[in-house]
């Protein structure tokens, strides 16, 4: 299992490096990043995880998020993290604004960005605003 996790880590780091390279080639400076994170894994054994299908999905999701965070760090970024279940409230708190103000800012960004502008795009924008604020 450690070998598989290590491979996932290498793939995530390589993908982040590639994304940064493409952004720079397009004339953009990458100054930070954000990742929505889960609640973490309970102290389950591998057998306990494999015994319940939904636990496998949780473990996979946590692994995905963990390798993104570590990949960002390997690329020289300390990612801004937001909890995936309450990203907007957490972003508003970290930014020191009301949720209504954040929602207004996200709506303006969405209008400028154009479709699609659904929850995933709004969460990504909220994480980006937090990452920029950290800078």
Report how far residue 51's alpha carbon sits from residue 36's, in angstroms, rounded to the nearest whole number.
27
**pLDDT the model gives residue 70:** 97
Which parts of the chain register pLDDT below 70?
none
Contact 39, 133 (CB under 8 A): no
**pLDDT the model gives residue 9:** 96
Give Cα separations from 58 to 22, 37, 52, 64, 81 (angstroms): 31, 12, 10, 10, 18
Q: What percent of the chain has pLDDT over 90?
A: 96
**pLDDT the model gives residue 3:** 93
- Other CB atoms within a 10 A radius of the CB of residue 64 amount to 13
Q: What is the mean pLDDT of the chain?
A: 96
Q: Residues 49-58: contacts with CB within 8 Å, 24+ apart?
A: none
**Crossing angle for the helix pair 2-25 and 53-74, to the nearest 10 degrees:** 50
**pLDDT the model gives residue 13:** 98
Q: Phi and psi for 83 in degrees, rounded to 5?
A: -70, 130
């Amino acid at each position: 299992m450690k070998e598989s996790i290590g491979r996932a880590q290498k793939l995530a780091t390589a993908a982040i490096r590639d994304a940064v390279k493409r952004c720079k080639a397009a004339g953009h400076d990458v100054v930070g990043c954000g990742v929505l994170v889960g609640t973490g894994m309970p102290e389950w054994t591998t057998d306990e995880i494999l015994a319940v299908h939904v636990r496998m999905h949780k473990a996979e999701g946590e692994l995905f998020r963990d390798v993104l965070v570590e990949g960002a760090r390997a690329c020289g970024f300390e990612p801004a993290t937001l909890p995936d279940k309450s990203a907007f409230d957490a972003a508003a708190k970290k930014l020191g604004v009301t949720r209504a103000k954040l929602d207004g800012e996200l709506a303006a960004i969405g209008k400028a960005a154009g479709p699609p502008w659904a929850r995933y795009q709004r969460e990504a924008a909220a994480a980006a605003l937090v990452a920029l604020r950290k800078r």
